[in-house]
Amino acid sequence: MMWDDLARRAFGFGGPDIEEAPTAERPGNGKLKLGLALGGGAARGWSHIGVMRVLQREGIVPDVIAGSSVGAVVGGCYAMGKLDEIEAFTRSLTKRRVMGLLDFHISGSGLIGGDRLRRLLERDLGRTRVEDMPIRFAAIATELGTGHEIWLTRGPLVTAMRSSYALPGILDPVRFGGRWLMDGALVNPIPVTAARALGADIVVCVNLNSDIRLRGTVIQSHGADDVSEAMVPAAEGRRWGLFPSREPALRAPHRPSDAPGIAAVMIDAFNITQDRIARARLAGDPPDVMIAPKLAAIGLFEFHRAAECIELGEQAAERALPDFREAVRHAAEVGVQI
């Protein structure tokens, strides 16, 4: 059976020759529902745009989108027909413009207030509410204090997006529905589970961190045989005020010249956390198809590299198309009501 025939039967869509895209609601017709789980990954998330472009070209329209962090932003814009706008915005970003969008402050719960970013989203999305969107949508957030995983399926779309990407320490948490919320990638970086729970029969996920070279293992025995790591001259210790000048040379902590800076520590901590949580969650509820852009060379906060990210997303989606078609064939063969 040809791919277009299978796609029409299973999902109600086919290749690029299909003139009309299907509606998100297909009550009672027994069609399979396609879900997208768009992962978090800060600037790497612009690759979601490239993925969506390939799906558009193939005539593939999702019924459900669940997004964490930047995945919620791109997914929400796509669902509202604003993919062109967000792509134009990302491609216009330079280092200078990125800095101009960051409203730094010292009185909040993070370094950045986020009002400038909010106004940009509101310009294109207005007062759209999640429950009124043409595609079923959920933004994933984390509740401050409890660590609850929160699926935002009602309320203002822009506020839901902001809650989902409020990276702790960087952006202020967002008050939404009586809860203080922060980045959803802390608890569910690739929300396959949410997409299934919202009704998806086949889930395609986009993993932004699969190419990040963090495959940690367990070092079962580690220590230091040379105590010199913990030693500094007495003069150094006195300079830091660690002991009185009359004391002899003693051990004192110091910052080695090769110690990582705060930015490197934060980025590595984020990468490690995302890798470990994502692997655990995907092992428990694997997607039917994974799209994995090769983003190791893109820094978390290199938002000005959108063109590269979009191209890498397109390449990854192209590579995954045979797997997607095979998943559809398998669903048809096992007797899905279509």
DSSP string, 39-69: PP-GGGGGHHHHHHHHHHHTT---SEEEEET
Residue 156 φ/ψ region, left for φ over 0, alpha for ψ in the -120 to 50 degree band, beta for the rest:
beta
Catalytic one of 63, 172, 183, 288: 183
Annotated catalytic, 69?
Answer: yes
DSSP string, 193-257: HHHHHTT-SEEEEE-TTTTS--------S---S-GGGGB--HHHHHHTTSS-TTS-S-B-----T
How far apart CA 83 and CA 115 sit, in angstroms, is 22
Give the CA radius of gyration of the chain.
23
Catalytic one of 69, 163, 164, 210: 69
CB contact at 8 A, 285 and 192: yes
For residue 53, which of 315, 336, 238 has the smallest C-alpha distance? 315
Annotated catalytic, 68?
Answer: no
Q: Catalytic residue positions?
A: 69, 183
